[in-house]
Chain A
């Protein structure tokens, strides 16, 4: 149907822009390749898990950031987890942000 293919095209464009803007990398493609007719919702399931997991992590990080003095080791550990899961799903930008954050942690840079 015309409408359907239009929507499909839109989704495809959106998907492509996520790659172009550096939000996603090849690992995401790998996830897509693991999806098939027997497991049609794999990507959705993983990403859902990721959002849930990340929300939890971000909440813990925010809590830790409110403390003073800052516990850099704990923050670093949270970031390690966040970076790991982002990298596993192909979340390139988030992964880069995490890496930056960890650099600050290692430098003991609370302002960063």
Chain B
């Protein structure tokens, strides 16, 4: 739900149901409302659908056993305008994320108008973790996250004070987005933004699909059981990556870390779309 997102004008800003009009005046008004929400009320979400507009600030979960490093990473993230939660261990991180997972589960059973990604709890857009920690290492945490169906779409970044190439490769192979060498600097934190934008846009796209009643994919989501949500993510991500390629010419999404998706992108998007179309036509 970025202010400057490049999408077609018909998908302008569906997450503010108070202002359904799509005129340019309405758009200006919505921008003002959005700014107001972002400035002071980022923790206040009176309506479930409003939560993603109010929380369109990125939320990062930082995991490190060192107090000094936690303080440093917290400051670096805050100065980059991210919301930050810090925990001192992998198990606490999973606990924190678990409270998010429960919300997912409960809301997916509820009315179709509340999508699984649109829960009342806290949404995490990126996890940044130290590698060397007692008990559960950053690598163990990374593995656990990638094994969880609800958490594995969250980008994970690993930090370490030791430059061990085999360690770096192993983490990247397990699905980490980046490997940052300590001490962490502002330049390192700036590298994180594209990873978060990708996931945010993806969630934003799902929101759009949920709220557009005419849309074919929207009907598709409603009629499918919650399990289909994951398939949706992959499809959206695939379409999403292609959109980025075509419209924005960024390098995000298509680097060598997303191997599985690169394979899928070989498929024509039209074929996928028409499949949905075919099913939904009565």
Which A residues form the contact surface with B (CB < 8 A)?
27, 30-31, 33-34, 36, 39, 42, 45-46, 49-50, 53, 80-81, 83-85, 87-90
Contacts and interface: CB of A to CB of B under 8 A. Distances in A.
Nearest to A89: B68
A31 to B, nearest CB: 8
B75 A39 contact: yes
Contacts of B19: none
Given A34-B75, A34-B79, A42-B75, A85 B68 contact: yes
B41 interface: no
B186 A88 contact: no
B36 to A, nearest CB: 21
A85 B71 contact: no
20 contacts: A27-B185, A33-B186, A34-B72, A45-B71, A46-B71, A50-B68, A53-B66, A53-B67, A53-B68, A81-B66, A83-B161, A84-B69, A87-B161, A87-B182, A87-B183, A88-B69, A88-B182, A88-B184, A89-B68, A89-B183
A39 B161 CA distance: 26
Given A34-B186, A80-B132, A83-B161, A88 B75 contact: no
Contacts of A30: 183, 185-186
A109 to B, nearest CB: 21
Closest 9 CB pairs of A and B: A85-B68, A88-B183, A27-B183, A84-B161, A34-B75, A87-B183, A30-B185, A88-B68, A88-B69
A40 B267 CA distance: 54
B60 interface: no
Interface of B: 66-69, 71-72, 75-76, 79, 132, 161, 182-186
A46 B186 contact: no
Contacts, number: 52
Contact of A49 (B68, B132, B185): B68
Contacts of A31: 72
Contacts of A42: 75
Contacts of B68: 46, 49-50, 53, 85, 88-89
A46 B132 CA distance: 21
A85 B68 CA distance: 6
A7 B166 CA distance: 50
Interface centre among B68, B72, B132, B186 (most CB of A within 10 A): B68
A34 B189 CA distance: 13
A24 to B, nearest CB: 12
A25 B187 CA distance: 17
A73 B25 CA distance: 67
A34 B69 CA distance: 14
A33 B161 CA distance: 21
Contact of B182 (A33, A50, A84): A84
A90 B71 CA distance: 14
Nearest to B134: A77
A106 to B, nearest CB: 13
A61 to B, nearest CB: 16
B66 A85 contact: yes
A50 B66 CA distance: 10
A49 to B, nearest CB: 6
A46 B72 contact: yes
A85 B69 contact: yes
A26 B68 CA distance: 17
Nearest to A28: B183
B67 A49 contact: yes
B69 to A, nearest CB: 5
Contacts of A45: 71
Nearest to A88: B183
